[in-house]
Amino acid sequence: MNMNLVSRKTFIRAVHFSVLIASALFCFTASAAAPKSHRLDAFAQCLATKKATMYGSLRCPHCDDQRAIFGDSFRYVPYIECSVAGSRNISFACDLARVRYTPTWIFADGERKVGILTLQQLSTKTGCRLP
């Protein structure tokens, strides 16, 4: 048997095996992430019911971190954007609420907390149950 033929077959098998492993990892990662991405929907909706609002900015990396904690469920969190497109000004809504730092959470009782809050902190403050 020709040595090139053996090397070629070994190479093809290695490529097929790599594709198989990569596909399996992708499927596992996608299936593991899918339920997680929506697991906080009810919690985020409860925050809305309890009138907990996040004031943030698209230019704020800490706001990005706070949004990332919720994943896709963040769409249910009441959110006020404080940055004004094309300027360094603060939005009227954030100025009216006297928000100077983002993220800032303002709750129904008027209490405000500045910075990234954990899900547990939000749960404790609002009474919303975590999944």
Q: What is the pLDDT of residues 68-113, one digit of tens each?
A: 999 999 999 999 999 999 999 999 999 999 999 999 999 999 999 9
Total number of domains in the chain:
2
Question: 39 with 73: CB under 8 angstroms?
Answer: yes
Find the DSSP H helices in 38-114: 41-49, 61-70, 92-96
Percent of the chain with pLDDT over 70: 72
Query: What is the pTM assigned to this prediction?
Result: 0.71
Q: Report the Cα 95 to chain-centroid distance in Å.
A: 26
User: Both 3 and 53 in a single domain?
Assistant: no
* pLDDT tier for residue 3 given thresholds of 50, 70 and 90: low
64 & 7 share domain: no
pLDDT tier, 7 (very low <50, low <70, confident <90, very high otherwise): low
Asked if residue 62 belongs to a domain, the reply is yes
**In 3D, which of 127, 119, 97 has the Cα closest to residue 40?**
119
Q: What is the spatial distance between Cα 2 and Cα 91, in angstroms, rounded to a whole number? A: 73
